Structure 1
């Protein structure tokens, strides 16, 4: 799948997959929301509004209030790529989100996931 196709995917279709991935491992929707809000700067209400607007993944990140400055501390491999080495800024943000949800699903504490 090309980056452009990923960028044009509806965030409203990706979000339930992120929640399902975490819930299969005993985590909650509110924990997924917490990591999304930490990364993007959205409040819970504005996150829900973005989901309801059926915007693209690209627009979701472009309209994000502020990417957390600690996001650069997110490291590791997702989909065979080291997230800290991804050159495309938008794809890196998407992979950061994937990595955070992966860590949640693997049972990592929320404090460690949020790089506090």
Structure 2
């Protein structure tokens, strides 16, 4: 089965869209970074290095240093699909990230977004 085309999309091309979505709703780039760091385990320097390298989404996820075990608490619908029902691991990770950025843009408290 062929991989979904989103896997080959540069993370650096998607990241500004996440930031723009959050900023449009009064949130900040720092909050987007915090969500990504919490989810994937990157340090800020590691996140910036991945952006600078121009890695694709599949590599960004595969190289995540310490995916947060609490990410499995992320549930809900993204793009019409329930996140918890996605079986393919890489796609599920991408949708976790999408869902968390959606929650941020909707004004949800950071403690709830980070499942604290």
Shorter-chain TM-score bucket reads over 0.9
Deviations, residues 81-108 of structure 1 (Å, cap 9, x unaligned): 0000000000000000000000000000
Does residue 44 (structure 1) correspond to residue 44 (structure 2)? The answer is: yes
In 2, the alpha carbon distance for the partners of 1:11 and 1:102 equals: 17
1:78–1:91 Cα change, 3 Å = same
Alignment of structure 1 residues 10-89 onto 2, 5 Å: 10-89=10-89
Residue aligned with 1:115, SS: coil
In 1, the alpha carbon distance for the partners of 2:4 and 2:66 equals: 22
Structure 1 residue ranges (4+ consecutive) displaced by more than 6 angstroms after TM superposition: none
Alpha carbons 1:3, 1:91 under 8 Å: kept: no
Matched positions, count: 115
In 1, the alpha carbon distance for the partners of 2:39 and 2:59 equals: 15
Deviations, residues 51-99 of structure 1 (Å, cap 9, x unaligned): 0000000000000001100000000000000000000000000000000
* TM-score when normalising by structure 1: 0.97
Residue aligned with 1:18, SS: helix
Does residue 6 (structure 1) correspond to residue 6 (structure 2)? The answer is: yes
Residue aligned with 2:4, SS: helix
Deviation at 1:3, TM superposition (A): 4.8
Residue aligned with 2:16, SS: helix
Q: Give the unaligned 5+ runs of structure 1.
A: none
In 2, the alpha carbon distance for the partners of 1:13 and 1:71 equals: 23
Q: Give the unaligned 5+ runs of structure 2.
A: none
